[in-house]
Structure 1
Amino acid sequence: MDKLTSASLNSWLRFKHLQLLVNLEQSRNMHTAARQMNLSQPAASKMLRDLESYFGFSIFERQPRAMVTTDLGKAVVRHAERLLNEAQRLVDDVQVLREGGYGHLVIGAIPAAAPEILPAAIAALKQRRPRLSVSIDEQSSDRLLLELEYKRLDLVIGRLTHVSQHNLFDFEPLLEEPLRVVARRDHPLSGVDDVALDGLSGWPWILHPLTSPMRGVFEEALADAGIPSPANTIETTSTQSILQLLLASDMLAILPRSVLRRPLASGQYITLPITVGKPLDYYGIITRKHEPLSPAAAELIDELRQQVQMAFVQ
């Protein structure tokens, strides 16, 4: 094709084309991708040839044992997956509305936001929209932003993890989050006043994955002090798993202050008298750039702002 335009794309491209691209990238096998779509392999192969002819470049490289997405093909497949996810959301929302509901809101949240600020905002929203369906996905920011980019989430309460993400997302800061080292109440370090970072690296740790901002702050603090990273670690983003592992062991963890409010109030945990690294950058509301919000998402954002003003800003 000589010139690719949105008008020609709209008139030619079909959702079955998008599904084939996504299936091919996931399976890397034409036979498997065709079977998933109830197509013959020759029909699926012709569909791919038509797509590549239309775009004017190879989307997949045919290798002896697999079909590998080309660099240009990755961009096409990425958009195909976004469009399919958007179509699925349309189906889900219409189905909910037909059954008498009031839509579906899917929220991503980092652990720091999940214990207090987000539940309070959702509870207030549900008072006004009792039949609104709400789902919460709690993960680290890097994983949530990928879900947001691919339109599996409506918004994220988290942090941008790379400067280039400002091109994809709008960010409204909410709170800066200090980090604390936490252990069970009767940990051997309980009551020790002189706690040094170099003495802590030899203990077993429960940490977020290396790609998370929280882990980045921890590793940066160790590097600045010339201290090696702990060798005995467990990685998880689950706050509940971290708290349960702390109770069952002599492990240490680093968690945001807001996550620890209720665990510390229970009397089962302590924080050690040491500051590790700088506070995490402000976490906030992240939405896709240049894309309108649903009424429910806009109302939730208003509630989040109010919760911050009432409960956290001192």
Structure 2
Amino acid sequence: MDSLSSTSLFGWLRFKHLVLLTTLDQSRNMHAAARAMHLSQPAASKMLRDLEAYFGVALFERLPRAMQPTELGEQVIRHAWRLLNDADRLVSDINDLREGGYGKLLIGAIAAAAPEILPAAIARLKRQRPRLSVSLQELTSDRLLVELEYKRLDLVIGRLTHVSQHNQFDFEPLRDEPLRVVVRRGHPLAAGDGMPDLATLSRWPWILHPMTSPMRGVFEAALAAQGVASPDDVVETTSIQATLQLLLNSDMLAVLPWSVLRRPLESGQYVLLERVIGKPLDYYGIITRRDEPQSTAARALIEHLRELARQAPGDEIA
């Protein structure tokens, strides 16, 4: 097969091909994909065969009850998502500008950045650009990086979750985060003398982030270092508000970053136990797609984040 070129590819590829790939990626079923695209199944099947003939390889494995992307198919689908999201963003930005707006900024952030530094940076940006539309999505780093890769976000305030990701993203550190154990005021552990060891603490019910999150990784590593099994009684959530409410209404324990806990502790409803779990979380920071220019709004937000991060931890952020 002759080598492909971007010129020949974009001369042949059509928008409907991209839609078929992403729709099949979601449904894993040709009949469902054809129905979603308002096509007959034979027409959709022919489109896929044409794509596979062009690339010279199978993009999906035909299984009895599903269609599974091949290894190369996963790469093609990944780029199809990026191209479609780029097109959606172009239309959105043009409509926004035609209606008198000043663009849109899509931000993803982990919980540690959301309580203080990021809202303060957004407030500063909005004072400069009051008509800028800002969207903020709060998730764990692993999920945010998928959104960033597929161009559903402009930048992420979070952590890289795999050593290889430095090839894909640029990372600029902002702050590290000590993890603390928190309970409700009046919890039996808060009233006792001394601090139980990790083996005793692990027998209590816990509220924790999912296993894929860096915060959970630090917690599990601390247990493993002392030969302690993971807790059996666990609620997994990334929601800070749900965590705080569960703490108030139970004898559960949670492990959270200090930046998240500072303001809730001021209410007097929560108590920190005298234990720091594991090493501090690695620095969270600004993550952007490598070798891709940032919009003026994104660059302005990054400058505000840098300035706020330079403040001492005890300084007032405004």
**8 Å CA contact 1:106, 1:134 repeated in 2:** yes
Amino acid at match of 1:301: I
Report 1:195-274 matches (<5 A).
195=195, 196-274=197-275
Amino acid at match of 1:107: I
Aligned to 2:127: 127
The percentage of aligned residue pairs carrying the same residue is 70
Q: Deviations over 1:143-178 (max 9, x none)?
A: 111111111111000000100000110000000100
CA distance in 2, matches of 1:63, 1:199: 49
CA distance in 2, matches of 1:48, 1:313: 58
- Stretches of structure 2 that go unaligned for 5 or more consecutive residues are none
CA distance in 2, matches of 1:120, 1:112: 13
Report 1:1-314 matches (<5 A).
1-195=1-195, 196-312=197-313
Post-superposition offset of 1:142:
0.7
Q: CA RMSD in A?
A: 1.2
CA distance in 1, matches of 2:255, 2:294: 34
Post-superposition offset of 1:193:
4.1
Q: Deviations over 1:232-251 (max 9, x none)?
A: 00000000100010000000
CA distance in 2, matches of 1:160, 1:193: 39
Q: Deviations over 1:189-229 (max 9, x none)?
A: 11434212222111100000000000000001001101111
CA distance in 2, matches of 1:167, 1:192: 49
SS of alignment partner, residue 73 of structure 1:
helix
Post-superposition offset of 1:65:
2.0
SS of alignment partner, residue 291 of structure 2:
coil
CA distance in 2, matches of 1:163, 1:20: 33
SS of alignment partner, residue 189 of structure 2:
coil
**8 Å CA contact 1:183, 1:252 repeated in 2:** yes
CA distance in 2, matches of 1:108, 1:193: 41
CA distance in 2, matches of 1:200, 1:228: 11
Post-superposition offset of 1:125:
0.1
Post-superposition offset of 1:305:
0.6
CA distance in 1, matches of 2:98, 2:186: 55
**8 Å CA contact 1:197, 1:276 repeated in 2:** no
Post-superposition offset of 1:63:
2.2
Q: Deviations over 1:48-85 (max 9, x none)?
A: 11111110101112222222211111111111111111
- Stretches of structure 1 that go unaligned for 5 or more consecutive residues are none
Post-superposition offset of 1:4:
0.6
CA distance in 2, matches of 1:159, 1:140: 9
SS of alignment partner, residue 16 of structure 2:
helix
TM-score after normalising by structure 2: 0.96
SS of alignment partner, residue 273 of structure 1:
strand
Amino acid at match of 2:300: E
Amino acid at match of 1:284: G
SS of alignment partner, residue 151 of structure 1:
coil
SS of alignment partner, residue 161 of structure 1:
coil
Deviating more after overlay: 185-194 vs 273-282: 185-194
**8 Å CA contact 1:193, 1:273 repeated in 2:** no
Deviating more after overlay: 79-88 vs 251-260: 79-88
Post-superposition offset of 1:311:
5.0
Aligned length: 314
Q: Deviations over 1:119-153 (max 9, x none)?
A: 00000000011011111111111111111111111
Deviating more after overlay: 135-144 vs 40-49: 40-49
